[in-house]
Amino acid sequence: MGAAVGYALSTVVAITFAVASSGHLSLGDPGLLLTSQVGLWIGFLGAVVVASRRNGTSSLTTDYGLSWPRLSDLGLGVVGGVAGRMIPTVLALLIALAGGLSSSASRQAPTILGTQPQGDFGWAVVVLLAVVGAPLVEELLFRGLIQGAFSRRTGAVPAIFITALIFSFAHIFNEGPAAPLLIFPSGLILGYLRYRTGRLAAGMLAHATFNATLFLILLIPVLR
Residue 219 pLDDT: 63
What is the Cβ-side half-sphere exposure of residue 50, based on CA atoms within 13 angstroms?
10
- What's the pLDDT score for residue 76? 95
Say whether 155 sits in a helix, a strand or coil: coil
Backbone angles phi and psi of 120, in degrees to 5: -65, -40
Amino acid letter, 98:
A
Q: What's the CA gap between 110 and 103, in Å, rounded? A: 14
46 burial type by CB count under 10 A (0-12 exposed, 13-18 middle, 19+ buried): middle
pLDDT digits over 128-158, tens only? 888 999 999 999 999 999 999 999 999 999 9
Which H/E stretch holds residue 40?
Answer: helix 30-55
pTM of the entire predicted model: 0.82
Both ends of the chain: CA-CA distance in Å?
46
Q: Which of 100-104, 163-167, 215-219 has the lowest mean pLDDT?
A: 100-104
For the CA atoms of 15, 19, 23, 27, the dihedral, rounded to the nearest 10 degrees, stands at -40
Query: Which residues have CB under 8 Å from 55's CB, separation 6+?
Result: none
Task: Give the three-state DSSP class for 67.
Answer: coil
The helix/strand/coil state of 112 is: strand
| C-alpha radius of gyration, the chain, whole number | 18
pLDDT score at 28: 56
What pLDDT, in 10s, does the model give residues 104-121? 444 444 456 666 666 778
Question: Cα 67 to chain center, whole Å?
Answer: 19
CB-CB contact of 161 with 188 (8 Å): yes
Q: Which residues pair with 115 in a beta bridge?
A: 112
Question: Could you read off the pLDDT of 69-96 as tens digits, one per residue?
Answer: 999 999 999 999 999 888 877 877 776 6
Find the DSSP H helices in 145-200: 147-154, 156-170, 172-175, 179-197
Residue 32 in this model has a pLDDT that exceeds 80: no
Q: Is the pLDDT assigned to residue 210 strictly greater than 50?
A: yes
pLDDT attached to residue 181: 85
3-state SS assignment for residue 186: helix
3-state secondary structure of 109: coil
